[in-house]
Amino acid sequence: MKNIIQKLSMFEEARVFHLKFWQTPSFLFLIMGIATIVSTYATYLISSRNDDPEIIILGIATIAGIVFSLGVLLVKIISRIIIISNARNEFLSLVSHQMRSPLTGTKYIFEIMLSGKSDPVTPAQEELLTQGYQANERMLLLVNDLLSLTRMAEGDTPFDYADCDITKLINDVKQESRPNADKKKIRIIMNMPTQPLPNVQCDEKKIRFVISNLVHNAIKYTQPAGTITISARTEEGKRILISVSDTGIGIPSDEIDKLFTKFYRATNADTASKIGTGLGLYIAKNIVDRHYGRIWVESEERKGSTFFVSLPLKQRRMSS
Ligand code: ADP
C-alpha cells in the first residue's frame, strides 16, 4: 500500500519540487476534475428543482468561481516549478563555468613545469607532475562534459550521428576504466559475440559518455574484489543491446524508478561512495532517448545491478 501511495505522482512531485502534496499539479488537476463533475451534477440538480433563474445562476457562478480559483493556483504552481527547474540548470552551468577557468589555468601551469621551461625537473618530480596533470585533465573533461551535457539535456546541443564501432568504443571505455578498477581490485570482463557487431548510427561522443558512466558507476558502487561484466549483442538485427553488470551494492527496489531523474541518488549510495551528483544517469537517459533507444536497470540490493542500453542500429534521422 505504501508503495502504491509513493508511486502516485502527486507525492513524487511534492518530494521533487519541495511542495505540499495539496499544492502539486496532479492533486490540483484531480480536485479540478472532481469540482467539474460535482458542478455539472449540482447544476443539473439545482436547475431540476428550482425554477428561480437567479438561484441557478448564483449556483453556477459559485462553482465556476471555485474552478477558476483552482486554475489560477495551478498556473502559479506550474510557473514556480519552471522557475525552480531553470534556476537549478543555471546554477549547474554557472558552477561548471566557474570551475573551468581555474582548471584550465592549472593545466597550463602543469604543462609549463613539465616542459622544463621554468626549471628543470627531476624524474621523481616529473612523475608527480604528470599524475597531477592527468588528474586535472580528468576533472577538466568532467566539467566540460557536465557543462555541454547539461545544455544538451535542455535540448540546446545538436547531435552528430555517424557510423560507430561499438566494440571499439566499449574496449576504449574498458581501458580507460582499468586504473580505477585496479585500485579496488575489481575485474572487468568483456562478454562479446564471436561475430563482429554491426556499426551503430550514433553520436559517438555522447554514447561513449553513457557507457563510460555505467562502467564508472559499476566500479564506484561495487565493493573491492568484485566483478564487472560488459556485454553487447544484436537484437533481431535491428538493435544493439549493451549491458553493464556488477556484483555491487544494488539498488533498493522501490527506488529503481527514480534513478534516471535529475539529482537522484539512492538511499544506499553513500555506503559505497559519498561522491556523486545524481546527474550521470539522468544525462545518460537524455542521450539514449534522443537516439530513440531505451535505458533501464535490473537490480537486487546487496547482490548487484545490471544496466541495459538498447539502441537502434539505424537512426530515423542522421542529424538533429
Ligand atoms: P552519481 O553521481 O550519484 O553516481 P548517477 O546519476 O550516475 O549519479 O547515478 C544515480 C544513482 O544511481 C547513484 O547515486 C546510485 O544511487 C545509483 N546507481 C547508479 N549506478 C549504480 C550501480 N551500478 N550500483 C548501485 N547503484 C547505482
pLDDT at residue 6 is higher than 70: no
Residues 6+ apart with CB under 8 A from 165: 199
Centroid of ligand 1 to alpha carbon of 196 (angstroms): 31
Mean pLDDT on 216-230: 96
* Terminal Cα-to-Cα distance of the chain (whole angstroms): 43
Mean pLDDT on 112-119: 85
- Residue 139: all three cell numbers together: 576533472
Least confident of 99-103, 127-131, 220-224, 268-272: 99-103
Range with the largest mean pLDDT of 36-40, 115-119, 140-144, 171-175: 171-175
Exposed, middle or buried: residue 103 (CB in 10 Å: 0-12, 13-18, 19+)?
Answer: middle
- Residue 158: all three cell numbers together: 545538436
pLDDT at residue 304 is higher than 50: yes
pLDDT at site 320 = 46
| DSSP line for 2-53 | HHHHHHSHHHHHHHHHT--GGGSHHHHHHHHHHHHHHHHHHHHHHHHH---H
Percent of the chain whose pLDDT exceeds 90: 41
pLDDT at residue 303 is higher than 80: yes
pTM of the model: 0.64
Using most ligand atoms within 8 A of CB, pick from 213, 281, 285 the residue to mutate for ligand 1.
Answer: 281
pLDDT at residue 2 is higher than 60: no
- What does the alpha-carbon distance between residue 178 and residue 231 come to, in Å, rounded to a whole number? 16
Exposed, middle or buried: residue 47 (CB in 10 Å: 0-12, 13-18, 19+)?
Answer: middle
299 C-beta neighbours (distance < 10 Å), count: 22
Which tops the pLDDT comparison, 45 or 244?
244
19 C-beta neighbours (distance < 10 Å), count: 18
Centroid of ligand 1 to alpha carbon of 278 (angstroms): 7
pLDDT at site 163 = 95
Which tops the pLDDT comparison, 86 or 217?
217
Domains and their CATH numbers in the chain? 1-157 (no CATH), 162-319 (3.30.565.10)
pLDDT in tens, 77-94: 777 777 777 777 777 777
As for ligand 1, residues whose beta carbon falls within 6 Å of it are 213, 217-218, 221, 246, 248-251, 259, 264-266, 269, 276-282, 305
pLDDT at residue 5 is higher than 60: no
Mean pLDDT on 293-310: 97
Cα dist from 117 to 109, 132, 175, 259, 279, whole Å:
11, 18, 32, 48, 40
- Which residues face 296 on adjacent strands? 308
Mean pLDDT on 287-309: 96
Using most ligand atoms within 8 A of CB, pick from 211, 217, 260 the residue to mutate for ligand 1.
Answer: 217
Using most ligand atoms within 8 A of CB, pick from 251, 253, 257, 267 the residue to mutate for ligand 1.
Answer: 251
> Is residue 246 a contact partner of residue 230, using CB atoms and an 8 Å limit?
no
Mean pLDDT on 287-311: 96
How crowded is the C-beta side of 54, counted as CA atoms within 13 Å?
0
pLDDT in tens, 7-45: 556 777 777 666 777 777 778 778 878 877 887 787 777
